[in-house]
Structure formats: C-alpha cells, structure tokens
Structure 1
Amino acid sequence: MIGIVIPAHNEERHISACLASIQRAIAHPALAHQQVQLLVVLDACSDETATRVSAMGVATLEVSVRNVGKARALGAERLLEVGAQWLAFTDADTVVPADWLVRQIGFGADAVCGTVEVDSWSEYGESVRSRYLELYQFTENHRHIHGANLGLSADAYRNAGGFQHLVAHEDVQLVADLERIGARIVWTATNPVVTSARRDYKCRGGFGEYLASLVAEGTREHSPAHAPIG
C-alpha cells in the first residue's frame, strides 16, 4: 500500500488543485492493482480547507499542533498503522505530475528526493526568477530537499526515526537521518512537482521564505551600500 500525506494549515486557495493532481497520480494505469490511501492532516484550520477536502472525498486527520514536522509525522503514523509500505509527501500548495507515484516507486530506492518548479513568478518578478534559476540545480544527483516532493519506504522511515517535530526543516532532518543509517537515496530532477511562489507562505524557514530571502538579497545588492565602486 502507498500512503500519501499532505499537511495543511488554512489552505483553501490551493488544496483542491493539489488533491486533483494527486488523484490523477493515483489513477495512473501502472497503479491499477495497487492500494493507495491519501490523507490530509488538517492542522488548526479555521478556513474552508476541511470542507473542500471533504467535497473531494479525501480522508482527513484533524490536529492542532501548528507544527509541520509533527503534522507530517502524525499523518505518517496513521498510514503506517493501516499498512502503508511506501510513504509519499507533498504540500497543500503543490501540484504533482500524473506519474509522480509511479516514478517514485520505480527507482527501487529507500528514498527519493525530487525537485520543485515554481507555478508563477508574477509576485516576484524577473530578477528573483533569474536568481532562483542561477542557484537551483535541475540535475540528477542534486542535493535539494523538499517536503513537497519526497517519498520513502516504510522501513526506511521507521529506521530513520521518522519526521522530527520541527516547525521548519523537518524534511532536511529526516534526509540527514536517512543518510546516517545508510539508506539508498535517489536525487532526481526527472519527477518535479510545481509549487506556489505566493508571498503569504505558511511555514517559517520553508520554500516561501527562501524566495523572500532572494528578494531581500536583491534589495541589498542594489542599495547604495552595495553599489559597485568606480
């Protein structure tokens, strides 16, 4: 069985598109005889996220921890309890490709770390887009880690100790723990997801804050204190 976990805190704007993409991935012909369970962990939601998830017939787990690491961990625990052998993780503001699950499993690895692409740069502009593309490695054997595009076997997850209850970088810590136990990790750019570049990001220290840091970096570079001399 494949288990898919999505943590969500007030994601009414994005959750429907996310779930629709995952349902397409679940319906892939190569998974015709594979049991798949999708679980949205509703973390202290006060908007219409729960209503929209319910309307799409997706199972939920309601918690109030305001902690993405713990939300991911609680979701994983629930799916492991019902027999999941592979765990896939993404975010509520992310859209996955139709072959997302098939490709993760097809690598035959203990874990798969995938890349992310940005849906639109309209809120940031060309300078931030250029800086992002300059720094990001869309190559095999990259070293990017995203909770929005991560899959691993149940055994590897358990042996690494699972997600720590961190408010940020829980994905980085898990991968570090996987490396510590000698897990075989595939770092691939061939299975990217598309995530939001919105400015109203939910997670401190996450992808949204990273994009905001590129804006701040560009501002510093163009300030009088950083102007070229001569």
Structure 2
Amino acid sequence: MAATQIDKVAVVIPAHNEEQALERALTSAGTAADRLAVDSPGTEAEVVIVLDACTDRSLEVAAGFAARDLRFRVLPVGFHSVGKSRRAGCGVVLESLGGSGAAGIPARRLWLANTDADSQVPEDWLLRQLELAAAGADLVLGSVEPDAHGTHHELLARWHSRHALAEDHPHVHGANLGVRASAYLAAGGFPGIDRDEDRILVERIRAGGAAIVSTDTTRVLTSGRTSGRAPGGFAAYLLALAQP
C-alpha cells in the first residue's frame, strides 16, 4: 500500500430520533477530533450530523454542539432512509470541496469516517483510522461491541460467541467505517437505500481493487437495543439473535 497523508477528515453521523443517545455519540466524536488535533495538528476535522425526519429533541441536541463548536455541522433531511442520510452527509463534505477535491484538497487526501448516533467511538478512533490511511488503506472496517449497559447478559454472551473481535475480521458496520474520498467516489458512494448501504459500498470498493483493512483497533461501542430506527439494522440482528 502506498502511503498517502490525509489533510481533512469528516465524521458523518446519521440520526433519526436519537435524543437519548445523541449527546454521548457527539461527545465521543468531539473527543476523537480533539485527540486528532493534538497528535496530528495539520489535519482538519469536522462532524456532520444528518438529522433524518427527527421529531424529538435531536435537533436541539445537535444544534447545541454546533453552537459551541464550529467543527460540528447540522444537516436536516427528510429521507426516512439511513442510506440516503449517509450519502447526503458525505455529499455535503464533498460539495464543500468542489465535489472531487477543490479548495486545495484532492479526494485522495480526504477521509470520510462513518458512525451512528447510538454509538460511542474511542478517543483514538480518528487518529488510528488516519494512521492506517497514511499507510495506504483506502477503506478501514472497524469492529463494534454492544454496550453492556442496557444489553441482557445472555444476549451479550450470545453475541460475543459469534463475533471474534480481532484483526482481519469479516464484519462490515456502518457504525465504524472509514473510507478515502477517492475510493468512495470511484465506488459511486453510499447507495440511497434503507438497509445494507454499508455492505454494498464495501462490495463495490472491494471489486475496484482498493486497499482494505479490517481491524479491532478502532472498536466502537454501540447500543444493544433490540428495537432500532433502521429496518434490518443492527438492532434487528440483535433481536433475531435473542430468539431461542
């Protein structure tokens, strides 16, 4: 893998009625951006919160972060679709650069880090992704772990028995996925669908021969709820796993 420095990273977080979890998610994203600023001061960071048809206090929570920290940007949409929301969030970042790398930042030096509004990223999440990108990775597939708080212990044990948290794991999680903008564009971006948008993007990138790293060194803590916001998403999987 050829080494390529990243000049800017954008965190994209889709949210649909996540007022209870959103503050923790945004706090963790901000902490990861703070760590990146200390350890890689030349790398710009922003966080795009895509509020999809929210009818709760999610807008109030997100707007509070944006008012206190200029790195946060709020994008209200009405898609009722996680795929369209992720695509829109990545799109506004690319549009701000002229689509393919204006403003002095080529697409190969822009990184799109994706997570979810019910998830908490580790402090070194962005730093580690960009270390892998600097080593040549075009796509980083991170691991996730259900939050033990709020997850029944039997379900948690069943999940761990089926998911080895290790390097070179086979899993794809929209809650922990980072991609070089050039690879993202070459693959056509996230498809505007209601489920499996992350898997389809990864399949397209893999088919294009991009450099892919699967790692447990960027593990994200995500909600262990079995009633989720996206049809067929992680919560639906946990619900099926909980069945005897």
Alignment TM-score > 0.5, same fold: yes
How far did 1:32 drift?
A: 2.1
> Which segment is superposed worse, 142-151 or 197-206?
197-206
Within 5 Å, give how 1:177-196 maps onto structure 2. 177-196=204-223
How far did 1:81 drift?
A: 1.5
Aligned length: 216
> Which segment is superposed worse, 159-168 or 82-91?
82-91
Q: Does 1:11 align with 2:18?
A: yes
In 2, are the aligned partners of 1:73 and 1:165 still within 8 Å (CA)? yes
What does residue 101 of structure 1 align with? 126
What does residue 22 of structure 1 align with? 29
What does residue 53 of structure 2 align with? 44
In 2, are the aligned partners of 1:41 and 1:62 still within 8 Å (CA)? yes
What does residue 143 of structure 2 align with? 115
2:175 counterpart letter in structure 1: A
How far did 1:118 drift?
A: 1.3
In 2, are the aligned partners of 1:68 and 1:203 still within 8 Å (CA)? yes
Unaligned runs of at least 5 residues, structure 2: 1-7, 67-71, 98-106
How far did 1:134 drift?
A: 1.1
Q: Distance in 1 between matches of 2:177 and 2:151?
A: 26
Q: 1:205 to 1:51 in 2, by over 3 A?
A: same
2:15 counterpart letter in structure 1: A
What does residue 221 of structure 1 align with? none
How far did 1:76 drift?
A: 0.3
Supply the RMSD in Å over aligned alpha carbons. Answer: 1.2
Q: Distance in 1 between matches of 2:151 and 2:160?
A: 16
What does residue 226 of structure 1 align with? none
1:73 counterpart letter in structure 2: R
Of 100, 117, 133, the match for 2:160:
133
Q: Distance in 1 between matches of 2:171 and 2:164?
A: 8
1:20 counterpart letter in structure 2: T
What does residue 213 of structure 1 align with? 240
Q: Distance in 2 between matches of 1:174 and 1:70?
A: 13
What does residue 71 of structure 1 align with? 85
In 1, are the aligned partners of 2:174 and 2:198 still within 8 Å (CA)? yes
In 2, are the aligned partners of 1:91 and 1:148 still within 8 Å (CA)? yes
Query: What TM-score do you get using the length of structure 1 for normalisation?
Result: 0.91
Q: Give SS of 2:123's match.
A: coil
What does residue 92 of structure 1 align with? 117
Larger radius of gyration: 1
How far did 1:124 drift?
A: 2.7
> Which segment is superposed worse, 3-12 or 29-38?
29-38
Q: 1:45 to 1:122 in 2, by over 3 A?
A: closer
In 1, are the aligned partners of 2:227 and 2:236 still within 8 Å (CA)? no
How far did 1:121 drift?
A: 5.6
> Which segment is superposed worse, 79-88 or 39-48?
79-88
Query: What TM-score do you get using the length of structure 2 for normalisation?
Result: 0.86
Q: 1:208 to 1:161 in 2, by over 3 A?
A: same
Unaligned runs of at least 5 residues, structure 1: 219-230
What does residue 142 of structure 1 align with? 169
2:89 counterpart letter in structure 1: G
Over 3 Å off, 4+ runs: none
In 2, are the aligned partners of 1:121 and 1:129 still within 8 Å (CA)? no
Q: Distance in 2 between matches of 1:44 and 1:175?
A: 26
